[in-house]
A and B are shown apart, each in its own frame.
Chain A
């Protein structure tokens, strides 16, 4: 059985349990299949929208939320605390292999800004920003990776949309920080303004 050939069937959930298990093991070792699966899975999921979306019974929403609350009854939800001042980082929850830094900030405007940083075990990082307005005219947003020692490294320029996902150039070493500043159009080689956001992995 050539496992490379199972990507489409896996994306459609059309493998038997043992085939799926073998394919998942293969996936751990095959970058090519991981990339192809990401594409085909997205397309397969489009089929979910190809059928009539009947409204679920009202009770389902409450049932899910009640069950969720019962599972984590002792945790204080983030949003019941005050929305925190701009730039204040909420301590990162270190999941098994992914570091997530999350910053929620609120400026004078009512728009809340949420930055989430995801760093995988290889140091590849993504920033997702929501509520970030466009950079001022003639300016750009610039992402930085700031190692524990040594200078900040430019990690990419971006402009903001309603939601912006930025894959950072380079990798984020342990204990490094990720920051975003506003720089002149074209970008800078080192940060020249105070970060509007920073988080430490």
Chain B
């Protein structure tokens, strides 16, 4: 039996085939092939994106159900390497190949959560509640600890008691807007994951 690239990924269920192919052996794939459903990516919408894990930044193609028309909800059903991408040329490592499982992970956060002092766990709350509460806590801390000048009268205009750690899998646009917001507040305890 010959297996073309798309069928190969399909047989893998998710596309981890890249590393597990040798472990499974093609023999077992053939056995699975007899039972699988008809090809389901034929009517999906393809969207170009980038693997969010490492800095090789492999191109990926995300398949979603529906054609984007009104009243249809796009659901991500498959992620595979972008064959046109000059760096990865369609390949993905075991991390990128399993991206669908990250997108659909059971441990994704789906609503704002709050944990009050001394409590053992989180409780779901509304966006309005968290944003109002966080803004209040930030303002109170800023007003109490913002330093306009040093003891010898030099301008400081900084707020040293609230820290901010930026992520490194966020977009450049997020990075810039974040920069603008935190610096306008006077935050100087600012860092990101580059060091670690």
Pairing of A with B: no
Enumerate chain A interface residues (CB-CB to B < 8 A).
none
